Structure 1
Amino acid sequence: MISHIDHVVLTVQDIDRAVAFYVRVLGMEEIEFANGRKAVRFGQQKINFQTLGQELRNHALQGSGDICLISTWPIDVVVGHLREQGVTILEGPVSKTGAVGEITSVYFNDPDQNLIEVSTYN
């Protein structure tokens, strides 16, 4: 019935700051949609951003997001890039289990304290 995730939504304090971080640190593409809302796109997925209280159907709080992103780069290159961008790595590289097998992951927070995991399949 379900083939893939189309998008996720993260609650942030400052949408422009969030977009700039995801573009700079993760190489995503900034896009605009529906009434000037902003998102970032990568591959065939996107991350939408909302400010607290913007979406009344969603009760997420700022910083409550936790997502895992798969990289095409080797994990040591990911780590080097994150360090170059001034990102503090909270954990990793560590072995974890992804949707289809073993992954190696690094964890860090975005500017709104959402937990971001960047991983590579082994």
Structure 2
Amino acid sequence: MFSLKIKRLDHIVVTVADLQRAVRFYHEVFDLPVLEDQSDEFVTTLRCGHQLLKLQLATRNTPLKAKEPTSASADFCLVTGDKLDDVKNHLKSYFVEIIAGPVEKIGANGKMTSLYVNDPDGNLIEIAVY
């Protein structure tokens, strides 16, 4: 019997209302590099470690998207190698409100401590330290 062997997530697509505002936020606050060769007026791709984060406008006209793409509906976790106090100070310097945390959680690699913020569209971002 065949068994599908999924290895990892390659990318995630987050729907946003204002692409330029979202790109600026993820690039400046999280220092994610923009991949210019994979960007257009409806989608911008950023590198996030070994994965990609694609930001797309809800108005993107393509059959290859979620049935009802909506901004403010994503909820995902970014893992950092920085100390949590440094993360807090960095977020504060960009006037990013911490809406919860630190919170002890269990992630893919075990126990972690997380902070929660929203991006400008209201998507929930968990920032975790193992």
Q: Same fold (TM over 0.5)?
A: yes
Deviation at 1:51, TM superposition (A): 1.1
Asked if residue 4 in structure 1 is aligned to residue 3 in structure 2, the reply is no
In angstroms, what is the RMSD of aligned CA positions?
Answer: 1.4
Correspondence for 1:16: 20
Deviation at 1:50, TM superposition (A): 1.1
Distance change in 2, residues 1:107/1:10 (3 Å): same
Asked if residue 32 in structure 1 is aligned to residue 41 in structure 2, the reply is no
User: Could you give the per-residue CA deviations for residues 2-55 of structure 1, whole angstroms, max 9, x where no partner exists?
Assistant: 121111000101111111100110011011345723111122111111111324
- Residues 1-122 of structure 1: pairs in structure 2 closer than 5 A: 1-34=5-38, 36=40, 37-54=43-60, 55-56=62-63, 57-58=65-66, 59-121=68-130
Count of matched residue pairs: 121
Deviation at 1:97, TM superposition (A): 1.0
- Share of identical aligned residues, percent? 39
Please, what TM-score do these two structures have when normalized by structure 2? Answer: 0.86
Q: Which runs of 5+ in 2 are unaligned?
A: none
User: Could you give the per-residue CA deviations for residues 46-89 of structure 1, whole angstroms, max 9, x where no partner exists?
Assistant: 11111113244312311100010000101111111101110000
Q: Distance in 2 between matches of 1:30 and 1:46?
A: 10
